[in-house]
Amino acid sequence: MQKEPISLVVFGATGDLMARKILPSLFYLFREKKLSKGFRVVGISRRDISEEGFREKMREAAGKFDEIAKDKKFVGFLKLFYFVKGYFGDKYTYEDLKKVLEGHDHKIFFYLAVAPKFYKTVLENMKKAGLIHKNMFLLVEKPIGLDLKSAREIENLLAKYFNEWQIYRIDHYLAKSGMDALFNFRFGSPTSIALRSRTSGLLEKIWSREYISKIELRLWEKKDVGTRGEFYEGVGALRDVGQNHLLTMLAYVAMEKPKAFHGEAVRKARAALLQRLKIYNLRQAAPFAYRAQYSGYRDAPGVKRNSKAETFFRVTAFLNAGQFRGVPITIEAGKAMPENKKEIVVKFRDGKNIIFQIETRAVKYQYVEEYKKILAGAFSGDDSIFLGRDEVLVSWKFVDPIVLVFKKNLVPLKFYEQNAYPKI
């Protein structure tokens, strides 16, 4: 249990992120007695509902999780929830919020569960209302931008109001059990302080280009885009999972041993690896990239009839320096694939392989497991499972030229059947 009381203020508290991820994750922490004494959640939304109406909405959301809805402790859990009705651009919303928070000597975490276009409005009004101080922290979701330019604008905005140590950038892949297992396998201790164990990094002596011929990273999903067609139209598979999840996986498998196993050191090691990525120009990128779209994607809701969005991509990357300099690294991801795969394959020159499964066990509510770890990490100050500014910017620097190559059709869009691998 955290010793210092904590208030979690959620902007966009009646949205999907709260219902599917934040709410159930908080309940499990509550049931496991891992929330601080005096912990509370303050929801902010423009919905015209009362505080009791907000709690009822949380009760309805919990109904989608059988185990939570039937748990007798849920009634007590709901008493932790408070509500402020208002608009993000209305100064009175923040004055009302300040009244709710006054008189409580505690840490405050502001969770921006809203689209990035609202960040500036929210942060400016928080500052004007005197809500930003040294004992408050910020949680923001990916994607941070849609390219390097927009990512830098968001990062500069965050830096205007907060120190780096106050910002928790979420990529839920950093909270996957397989990522901890990979780190532990390589270095002898997982990134999460809470899960620290004693094992030996037996493979580090052969973890280099002298012994390894290729690294493959893949994220396959059997399901199609479903109702996310409009979202996919704006980003495509590369920006959806390549810029973040896959490059995070690459950092863990190829980075050098951190100087220490705490947040800042681990984040610096990840960023240092990503900064070694060869940045392609348009001419260089085309031969190393492939994109495709599954048949039937254009029939999905919100998708253009002549859509050019990729639902599958493969990119071959290289590092300019370090122990893996020159080793081909393929990153690929796709929807409507023949099976689910989230794995890293390390191929040795002697013909042997090591396969790391990023999801090491079947969990009914995978996101809940990950967000439980994310929230617990933020509340305890374990920032190793959060992205740093440098990681965000360098990942976009690598991805941007490839996105541009796709847009200019320098890499032709291929097609593949659902439940089948593209014919590359």
Cα radius of gyration (the chain): 22
What is the Cα–Cα distance from 402 to 240, expressed in whole angstroms?
13
Our count of domains for the chain comes to 2
Domain region containing 217: 174-364+381-416
Tens of pLDDT, residue by residue over 340-391, are: 999 999 999 999 999 999 976 655 677 899 999 999 999 999 999 999 999 9
pLDDT, position 107: 92
User: Looking at the structure, do residues 136 and 178 belong to the same domain, yes or no?
Assistant: no
Give the per-residue pLDDT at 424: 87
Strand partners, 44: 11, 84
The predicted pLDDT at position 16 comes to 93
Are 387 and 269 members of one domain?
yes
Q: What pLDDT digit, counting tens, does each position of 83-117 carry?
A: 999 999 999 999 999 999 987 668 999 999 999 99
Q: Which residue among 141, 156, 191 closes a domain?
A: 141
Does residue 181 fall inside a structural domain?
yes
Verify that 303 and 219 share a domain, yes or no: yes
Residues 70 and 213 in one domain: no
Residue 423 inside a domain? The answer is no
CATH code (residue 354): 3.30.360.10
85 and 192 in one domain? no
In a domain, 286, yes or no: yes
DSSP-assigned letters across all residues of 152-194: HHHHHHHHHH--GGGEEEE-GGGGSHHHHHHHHHHHSS-S-GG
In a domain, 304, yes or no: yes
Q: Where a domain ends, among 123, 141, 159?
A: 141
In this structure, the answer to whether residues 198 and 242 fall within a common structural domain is yes
**What does the pLDDT read at residue 103?**
74
| Same domain, residue pair 92 and 183 | no
Q: Are strands 312-317 and 329-334 parallel, antiparallel or unpaired?
A: antiparallel
* pTM reported for the whole predicted model: 0.92
Q: What's the CA gap between 49 and 54, in Å, rounded?
A: 6
Judge residue 98's burial from the number of C-beta atoms within 10 Å of its C-beta, 0-12 exposed, 13-18 middle, 19 or more buried: middle
Task: Give the model's pLDDT for residue 420.
Answer: 97
Predicted local confidence at residue 1, as pLDDT:
53
How far apart are the C-alpha atoms of 379 and 393, rounded to whole Å?
Answer: 25
152 within some domain: no
306, 244: one domain: yes
Q: Which of 74, 107, 86 is nearest to 4 (CA)?
A: 107
The residue count for the chain: 424
The low-confidence residues of the chain, meaning pLDDT below 50, are: 190-201
Looking up tokens 């509500």 gives: 83
Rounded CA-CA distance 59/57 in Å is: 5
Using H for helix, E for strand and C for coil, what is the string for 92-135? HHHHHHHHHHCCCCCEEEEEECCCHHHHHHHHHHHHHCCCCCCC
The per-residue pLDDT for 73 is 93
Please give the structure tokens belonging to residue 229: 């067609």
* 262 shares a domain with 206: yes
Q: Does residue 191 form part of some domain?
A: yes
Do residues 136 and 191 share a domain? no
Residue 324 sits at φ, ψ, to 5 deg, of: -115, 20
Domain boundary among 141, 161, 196: 141
- What pLDDT, on a 0 to 100 scale, did the predictor assign at position 253? 97
**What CATH number corresponds to the domain at position 118?**
3.40.50.720
Does residue 159 sit within a domain? no
Q: Are 296 and 418 in contact (CB under 8 A)?
A: yes
**Count of C-beta atoms within a 10 Å radius of residue 228:** 17
Specify whether 117 is located in the same domain as 186.
no
Question: Looking at the domain assignment, is residue 149 inside a domain?
Answer: no
Three-point CA angle 314, 317, 323, nearest 5°: 140
Are 178 and 225 in the same domain?
yes
